[in-house]
Amino acid sequence: MFLLPMLLSALALPAAQPAGTAILATDAETRWVPFDLTPGNQLRFTMAIDGRPATAILDTGVSYSVLSRRFATAAAMPVRPGGSATAIGGLVDIGWASTRTVTLGGVTRRGGGLTVATLPALATGSAKAVDLLVGRDLTGAYALDIDYANRRFRLLPSGRMPFNGRTAPLAISRDRLVYVSEVTLGAARLRPMVVDTGDGSSITVTSGGWKAAGLTTTPTTTAISFGLAGAVTSTIGIVPALTLGQLTARSVEVRVEPAGGFSESIEVAGRIGSGFLQNYRVLLDPTAGRMVLSPGPTADQPPVRSTSGLLVGVDTDRLRILHVMRGGPAAAAGWKEGETVCTIDGQPIPANYGSSSLATWSAGAPGRVVTLGLCDGTQRRLTLRRFY
């Protein structure tokens, strides 16, 4: 599958609201929260807000959890105006809604409230939007154990070490109030790096950080991602190695933001996203000052690499071309953003496209010829090749 990674970070949210009181259950260790990975590469699960089920995404790149306006309206929750917040892609309008209880795994928070904003479906790469982005305010006081291989996570008392692995520094930044660490890329030590489970990409750095790393011979192309405030086009390349604390990771996809991009604007060096973290079992424990990573079966394997040069979004029964990658076969063939595909080698786009074998075509073997049926009835043949 080669779908579009999404960026759900919403940093720099105002904090002048009551926090509520959170209690961690004595049996929290047994209260695993099952999740699935969205087509946009985020952790999606179900929790409860005032006793109502809510679909949520775990997003450690968000300082204060964000509730969708749609959910607030359906639950008849009064929303007070809250100004605007900095997000990837620009500014978003926000509000504030008081809550009675918020329940996530073994944690129950009474009182307080949630930031409210519009959460677009496109941000998960699927046709259905979620109700909540679970941010640092709900998880930061605990050890967050994410078992990607078994699609589950849990919240534990800080200081617990439920498994062994390589450690890296971890803290909550004083200014942005999000999880941060640091990496060594090429010749550069980059910090602070936001540890961002809501970012479906792997590693993202600023243009200055990429230049300082000195990786000038790395082949690159372009890609697009979506934040809460809109689209961002970046350069991407695959680097041979990257160091995160005691861990050296191999064959890592790195996304380079344009000059003046989001990371630079909020004075961070970049982000460590779910696209990277999902190769490990991960413990995030900022109170103890550490992140622990235990390699999973996909660690150090070459990342999925587009051979079509098309990044797509799923729109019910069709694929919408969201970006044509620089230097790829699709660019050479004249493909344009906004075009829609209804069949692949004669097969219609299924409802479960993101998890189906059909989705592997865009990163297929070089030399394969794929016949794409556009929704206007025309057909085009695309020969796949490696281009970065």
Give the model confidence (pLDDT) of 250-279 as tens digits: 999 999 999 998 899 889 999 999 999 999
Superfamily of domain 21-156: Acid Proteases (2.40.70.10)
229, pLDDT greater than 70: no
Which among 5, 47, 39 is positioned nearest to 133, based on CA atoms? Answer: 47
Confidence at 124, pLDDT banded by 50, 70, 90? low
| Secondary structure class of 43 (helix, strand, coil) | strand
Task: Output the pLDDT for position 13.
Answer: 44
The residue ranking higher by pLDDT, 370 or 7, is 370
**E strand or H helix at 209, and its extent?**
helix 207-213
Domain 21-156 and domain 310-383 have a common topology: no
- Flag the least confident range among 27-31, 115-119, 160-164: 115-119
CATH code reported for the domain at 310-383: 2.30.42.10
* CA dist., res. 311 & res. 299, Å (int): 24
Q: Sketch the domain layout of the chain as residue ranges.
A: 21-156, 166-276+283-295, 310-383
Fold exhibited by the domain 166-276+283-295: Cathepsin D, subunit A; domain 1 (2.40.70)
15, pLDDT greater than 80: no
Distances (CA, A) of 210 to 106, 215, 229, 357: 40, 7, 24, 35
Over residues 187-202, mean pLDDT:
95
Task: Output the pLDDT for position 16.
Answer: 55
Return left, alpha or beta for 245; rule: phi > 0 is left, psi -120 to 50 is alpha, else beta: left
Confidence at 66, pLDDT banded by 50, 70, 90? very high
pTM for the full model?
A: 0.89
